[in-house]
Structures are given as C-alpha cells and as structure tokens.
Amino acid sequence: MRRESLSGTAALQASGALAVAFAFPGTLVAVRLNRTGVIAGVVYLVLGVAWSVWAGVPWAFAWFVGVAVVGAFIPGEANHVTLARAYLSAPVFVYAMHGGYGAIAVAVALAGLTDLTDGTIARRFGRPSKLGGALDPVVDGVFMGGLVIGLALGGTFPLWLALVVIARYLLPALAGGVLIAAGRRPELRHTLTGQVSTTLILVLVGGVCLFRGLDQDSGGLLNAAEVVIPAATVATFIHLGFALRRRAGAAEAAAAEAG
C-alpha cells in the first residue's frame, strides 16, 4: 500500500484509478484501486461464492465480498497470497463449528502454504513491503480467530481460551491503529515471539482438531494449550512492548541529535 504525505485533496490525482483518502493529523493517505487487487478479488470471490453455494452457507457471501472490496485496494501479488487466509477464515469457521475436522485440516494446510510462500513471492517480484509485513499478522489473526471461535461454539475448544487467542492478535492491531491515528508510524510486523506464538497456537489447535478427527483423546493437548497459549500470548505482549519502547527511544535520540 503506497502512502504519501499530501498537501490536500488536490493531490488525489485523476489518473484513472479510484482513490480513497484517509485524513490523519497533518497527513492525507491515498489508497488507490489497483488491477492486481481487482483481479485477485474476482478470482477469490468466484471461488468463495462457489463454496458458499456448495456448502449452503449464504451469509459467507457477504464476508467474501467485504474481503474482496478491501483487497481491491491492496497492491502486490504476494499480499493477495497472504489475503487468502482472510477468505479461508469463513470456511474454517463453519467447519470448526460443525466438527468438520477433515475440512479444517485442508484449510489449515492451505493457510500454512500461503504463509510459507507469500514472502518468497514478494522477493521473486522484488516487492517486499512494510504493508506485507503489517498485513501478515492481521490476516493470521483473522484466520485463527475464525478457527478458534468456531471450535468454541462447536464445543471443541474452551471459549476463554479462544478469547485469549483473539486478544493475542487483536490487541497489537488495535495498538498499531491507535499509534497511526496519533500521527505515528509504528513498524507493524511479526516479532520473534509473535512468530513463535503463532506457530504454537497453530500446532496446538491443529493437534486438538486432528485428535478429534481421529476419535482420539485430545485432553492432554487441550491441557497443554491452556497453559502454553496464554504464556505465549503474554510473552508476545511483553516483547512487543519492549520493541515499541526501544523504537520510541531511538526516535527521540535521533530527534535530539537533529535538534
């Protein structure tokens, strides 16, 4: 996503691309409709509608349309590989709620594949970006949120633990949004502890689903999840807090030297 400091609405060029402006203190951020986003959105939307009709889940159509509209303003091939996980969150929610563990395994495998390949695609096309780094954890949160809430509603997963997983992704995203609204530009990307916690959550939640799908006792894994996931979440928040503090300190030091 291209961000530019603009002096006013006149800077939104009439170049044939639709532009939407978001005003922050002293800054106007232009986000333009782009061809890659539109094409990817159409492809995903067709697949999503086909699944909605086949699975008999008409409400999912609205979700797919919403993600496609947002995606139309997101540039870059790799970012649309990442965005696939947002589309997958609706099917994984439905299957998790109704105990479709085989389908969950397929969805998780596809999500993992997109997570492994989006960075490679970005480097292949020479377009790694801060947007991609920011989009990755947000989309991870959307996908994992759909999975754990579906499992909780289906009685497979404790609701309180599902809320911990959602908080793991939601709170950093909200903090980043607050900083951006305040005129700052935080470095929105996965920290090391964030990557580790995401892996642990996926392994533990996926393991519970696998055991249930094989009619095996998942009590041991669930007990482990009730300890490991909250601990990993707290560690992620602590690491993120220190990282933000260091970044703020470095910015203040740079400003002092410049002054």
Burial of 224 (0-12, 13-18, 19+ CB in 10 A): middle
Residue 220, pLDDT score? 92
Give the pLDDT score at 213: 87
Mention every residue, 6+ apart, whose C-beta is less than 8 A from residue 179: 185, 186
Helix boundaries (H) for 98-129: 101-124
Cα separation of 226 and 203, whole Å? 13
The CATH number for 79-254, chosen from 3.90.1570.10, 3.90.1300.10, 1.20.120.1760, 1.10.10.10, is: 1.20.120.1760
Buried b or exposed e, range 35-55, using 16+ CB within 10 angstroms: eebeebbeebbeebeebbeeb
| pLDDT score for 77 | 85
Residues 6+ apart with CB under 8 A from 46: none
Helices marked H in the chain — which ranges? 35-55, 60-71, 77-97, 101-124, 130-153, 159-181, 192-213, 219-258
- Rounded Cα distance between 135 and 133, Å, is 6
Distance CA 35, CA 75 (A): 8
How do the pLDDT tens digits run along the chain, 259 residues long?
333 333 333 333 333 333 343 333 333 345 678 888 999 999 999 999 999 999 999 999 999 999 999 999 888 888 889 899 999 999 999 999 999 998 998 898 888 888 888 777 777 765 556 666 678 878 888 999 999 999 999 999 999 999 999 999 888 777 666 655 555 555 555 667 878 888 899 889 988 988 988 889 999 999 999 999 999 999 888 887 777 677 666 656 666 666 5
| H helices, E strands: number in the chain | 8, 2
Instruction: Indicate the Cα dihedral angle 208, 209, 210, 213, nearest 10°.
Output: 120
Q: Which amino acid would we find at residue 228?
A: V
Q: How do the domains of the chain map onto residue ranges?
A: 1-32, 34-75, 79-254
pLDDT of residue 24: 34
pLDDT at 31: 60
- pLDDT confidence of residue 129: 60
Quote the DSSP letter at residue 189.
S
Q: Counting every residue, how long is the chain?
A: 259
Per-residue model confidence (pLDDT) at position 177: 60
Q: How far, in Å, CA of 32 to CA of 162, rounded? A: 35
Which DSSP state fits 155? Answer: T
pLDDT at 133: 67
The pair of three-digit structure tokens given for residue 101, joined into one six-digit string: 């563990």
pLDDT at 195: 81
